[in-house]
Amino acid sequence: MFELTFDKMPYLQAIPLSHTAVNQNITLSVLRLDVIHAEISGNKWFKLQFYLNEALKLNSSRIVTFGGAYSNHIIATAVASKMAGIGSMGIIRGDKQTNSTLTIAANAGMQLAFVSRSQFQHKNIIQQQLQQPGDYWINEGGLGPLGVEGAMGIQTYIPPLTTHILCAVGTGTMLAGLIKGALPHQNLIGIPVLKGVDNIRQEIAALVKQPEKMQQMQWFNTYHFGGYAKHNTILLEKMNLWWQLYQLPTDKVYTAKLMWAVFDLIEKNYFPAGSNIVAIHSGGLQGNTSLLPNILKF
């Protein structure tokens, strides 16, 4: 059984709110899952843990998974596999390239295979071509029942009095786990960071497998900033502002869009008086290395 020793335990960071929100007894905290490890950050350890342990149980020799060139899932899989004493291969979308994400993954012993964007769409064909005996294949982003089960563990760090839990949605695995683990009075709010992905809601429902629990979920699909990894200078300026005001670092792909949504919904009086809001900082700060230096102040 492999268990990651956290560099730092997850904690709740209280964020001061405007006068109006304070008068309405609304509180906001950010659950800092980004602090658990520099490379295996945020939700990625939670989603990976059961896959890794199943691979160990099966005596697999290699973990294989998919991701983009700056993928948090790729870097986490590479480093966690190494720690667990198992080999790894990452199938990377796009032309062969190098950057700090891929260098750290390769240094952790991950073999990298680059496939074109069009080939990357057909993961089953890639698997047929590259599969070797002893492989343990994990879906892109850790999507699947074991990923959901792992993400349920995030609930351990959320106080029972919390009324609203918000998280960024990529594959929806983390949100599915949070819904499964939620108390009956809790509202789960998903903020998709991709454009036009309302179909993910059905996939989440299929992973949760409890139709009545899905009524606890809300969905806001207007905070993607144009699509996956798309961003503008206003978002980057906000990231710097949140750092300046709260010492809250965010990543431009997931958590910045989440925090934008959280503050926007608070401003629009979405949350009823007395709400205790927790936003999940799901990690991924290493993804900011795709930005030019000096854009971010952290």
Ligand X SMILES: *Cc1c(COP(=O)(O)O)cnc(C)c1O
Q: Which residues sit at the interface with ligand X, rule CB under 6 A?
A: 42-44, 72-73, 141, 168-175, 251, 254-255, 282-284
What whole-number distance in Å separates Cα of residue 148 and Cα of residue 139? 12
CB nearer to ligand X: give 21 or 77: 77
Rounded least distance, CB 73 to ligand X, Å:
6
Half-sphere exposure of 55 (CA within 13 A, CB side): 28
CB nearer to ligand X: give 24 or 218: 218
Rounded least distance, CB 272 to ligand X, Å:
26
CB nearer to ligand X: give 172 or 275: 172
What whole-number distance in Å separates Cα of residue 200 and Cα of residue 141? 13
> Which residue is at the shortest CB distance from ligand X?
284
> Are 286 and 39 contacting, i.e. CB atoms less than 8 angstroms apart?
yes
Rounded least distance, CB 173 to ligand X, Å:
4
CB nearer to ligand X: give 43 or 186: 43
CB nearer to ligand X: give 62 or 281: 281
**In this structure, how many other beta carbons lie within 10 angstroms of the beta carbon of residue 73?**
26
Rounded least distance, CB 170 to ligand X, Å:
3
Rounded least distance, CB 20 to ligand X, Å:
29
DSSP states along 11-39: EEEEE---HHHHHTT-EEEEEE-GGG-SS
Rounded least distance, CB 77 to ligand X, Å:
11
Q: Roughly how many angstroms between the first and final C-alpha of the chain, as a whole number?
A: 36
What is the distance, to the nearest Å, from the Cα of residue 165 to the centroid of all Cα atoms in its chain? 14
Rounded least distance, CB 291 to ligand X, Å:
15
CB nearer to ligand X: give 45 or 136: 45
**In this structure, how many other beta carbons lie within 10 angstroms of the beta carbon of residue 95?**
10
**In this structure, how many other beta carbons lie within 10 angstroms of the beta carbon of residue 233?**
8
Dmax over Cα atoms in the chain, in whole Å?
A: 62
Helix, strand or coil, per DSSP, at residue 100: helix
Half-sphere exposure of 246 (CA within 13 A, CB side): 18
CB nearer to ligand X: give 101 or 255: 255
